[in-house]
Amino acid sequence: MSDEYGICPYNKQHRILLFRMPGHIVKCVRNYRGPPLAVCKYNATHRLPAERMDQHLEECVDYKKFHGYKNTQIALQARKSPPRA
C-alpha cells in the first residue's frame, strides 16, 4: 500500500495518507466553515475554489491518466475499424 501523504483541502494542517483521504474529507467537510470548494471531476479528493479548477486540471494527475487512457482506447478502436470501407 502507498504511504504517500496529501494535504487535506479543508485544512492545510491535516496531512492525511492518500488512501484515507476520501474518508477524511467526508468527516472534515462537516467542520468546514469556509467558502464552498468545487470537486475535481477526476478525483473526488481534489477540492479547490471553482475559479482555480481550470488551472488544477492542467496539473491534475488523474485528469492526465483519464485522458491518456481514453486516447489509447480511441487509437485501438481506430485500428480495429479503419475509416476506409
Closest approach of Cβ 74 to Zn ion, in Å? 22
End-to-end CA distance of the chain: 48
How far is Cα 4 from Cα 15, in angstroms, rounded to an integer? Answer: 10
- Of 5, 11, 19, 55, the residue at the interface with Zn ion (CB under 5 A) is 11
Q: Which 17-46 residues touch Zn ion, going by CB under 5 A?
A: 28, 40, 42-43, 46
Smallest distance from the beta carbon of 49 to Zn ion, in angstroms? 13
Choose between 6 and 43: whose C-beta lies nearer to Zn ion.
Answer: 43
Cα–Cα nearest to 63, from 42, 39, 45: 42
Q: How many residues bind Zn ion (CB under 5 A)?
A: 10
Residues 61, 79: Cα–Cα separation, whole Å? 27
